[in-house]
Amino acid sequence: MLQKIKTWMLPLAMLSGAFFYEFFQQLAFLTPYLIFSMLFITYCKLSFRDLKFSGLHLWLLAVQVVGCLVVYGGLVWFDPVVAQGGLICVLAPTATAAAVITGMLGGSVACLAAYTLMSSLVVAVVSPLIFTLLGEHSDMTFWNSVLFICRQVMPVLILPFALALFLEKALPSLHRQLKKLQILSFYLWALGLTIVTGKTVYFIVYQENADITEEWWMAALALVICVLQFILGRRIGRRYGDPVSGGQGLGQKNTILAIWMAQVYLNPLSSIAPASYVLWQNMINSWQLWKKRKK
């Protein structure tokens, strides 16, 4: 029964957000708290003593950070909003649920867990610089803009890690209890997806001078980026004997965080790209799981 609920939770969450967007967009202020809670519970599952970092992680990070700038630079001449959508689809860190899919596909859960942590921490550091360089906060000086974004992004991404590490050392009994509550992270993720979907639909409905063509371009771009990231990740991972972890690490994104960052720090319309990415990555994961079961 629980497995059936999980299977249908994604489409139900997105449909609920889309149909009841007037209500759920009012809950948008909860998104950073949901992201914090999801990451915190996920990090409590990790045993930090067992995390090992390798060259695979460095290559994936290079693609994630450098690749987002290449995508933006290659598309900004065409349409700045489309370019921002592409940037956030590449920059977004690995999804907290990626380790589960990796295990089901036969990859290394420990390797993927280490990269999930690393990619989130790197995004917390580099995203304020990147968003500031895009000039969305042009009313501020460069460093004031960087500090403004840091104050909002870093607590969401770094404090969960610090708190989980503190509990593991100082309160191991509480840490063990939280480690058993991983299902809670799944439901928080579903609620967060419902809220960000509602806010995205609300913005699309009430935007002035809507450009439908631009929105379709972003959805198509998200598909291309999604497929390329899975393929490239697998090719890099194959060099280190773990194509599954490479593909999931680069291809499966924390789209709730991506949508939230796009809505807050970029042109809100650019959030259509990561919102579309949700569908594409889950279609690819579903196909991979079906292919694995068939074998």
Residue 182 lies in a domain: yes
State yes or no: pLDDT of 199 exceeds 60: yes
State yes or no: pLDDT of 213 exceeds 80: yes
State yes or no: pLDDT of 27 exceeds 80: yes
State yes or no: pLDDT of 30 exceeds 90: no
Phi and psi angles of residue 252, each rounded to the nearest 5 degrees, phi first: -95, 110
Which residues span the domain enclosing 189? 34-289
Residue 250 lies in a domain: yes
Burial readout 34-44 (b: 16 or more C-beta within 10 A, e: otherwise): bbbbbbbbbbb
User: Which 3 state secondary structure label does DSSP give 253?
Assistant: strand
Q: What is the mean pLDDT of residues 276-291?
A: 82
The DSSP secondary-structure symbol of 178 reads: H
Length, in residues, of the chain: 295
pLDDT: is 87 or 141 the higher one? Answer: 87
pLDDT: is 294 or 140 the higher one? Answer: 294
Number of domains into which the chain is organized: 1
Name the pLDDT band for 266 (thresholds 50, 70, 90): confident
Phi and psi angles of residue 289, each rounded to the nearest 5 degrees, phi first: -65, -40
Give me the residue label for tokens 């969960």.
Answer: 160
CA dist., res. 193 & res. 43, Å (int) = 20
Residue 2 lies in a domain: no
Residue 178 lies in a domain: yes
DSSP H helix total and E strand total for the chain:
14, 0
Average pLDDT, the chain: 83
State yes or no: pLDDT of 136 exceeds 70: no
State yes or no: pLDDT of 73 exceeds 80: yes
Considering only CA atoms, which of 107, 258, 259 is closest in space to residue 197?
A: 259
Give strand pairing partners of 94.
253
**What's the token pair of residue 59?**
């290559």
What pLDDT was estimated at residue 105?
80
What pLDDT was estimated at residue 141?
61
What pLDDT was estimated at residue 3?
55
Q: Please, are residues 34 and 256 in contact by the beta-carbon 8 Å criterion?
A: yes
pTM above 0.75, yes or no: yes
Give me the residue label for tokens 């809950």.
Answer: 27
Residue 28 lies in a domain: no
State yes or no: pLDDT of 203 exceeds 90: no
What pLDDT was estimated at residue 143?
66
CA dist., res. 265 & res. 267, Å (int) = 7
Considering only CA atoms, which of 164, 220, 212 is closest in space to residue 41?
A: 164
pLDDT in tens, 110-131: 788 888 888 888 888 888 888 8
Interacting residues of 286 by C-beta distance below 8 A, sequence separation 6+ = none
Q: What is the mean pLDDT of residues 36-62?
A: 82
Give me the residue label for tokens 């594409």.
Answer: 280
User: What is the percent of the chain where pLDDT is above 70?
Assistant: 88
Residue 282 lies in a domain: yes
Residue 64 lies in a domain: yes
Name the pLDDT band for 222 (thresholds 50, 70, 90): very high
State yes or no: pLDDT of 262 exceeds 80: yes
User: What is the percent of the chain where pLDDT is above 90?
Assistant: 24
The domain that holds 244 is classified in CATH as 1.20.1530.20
Lowest mean pLDDT among 142-146, 236-240, 270-274: 142-146
Chain centre to alpha carbon of residue 143 = 26
What pLDDT was estimated at residue 38?
81
Residue 77 lies in a domain: yes
First to last CA, the chain: 25
pLDDT: is 175 or 83 the higher one? Answer: 83
Q: What is the mean pLDDT of residues 95-100?
A: 75
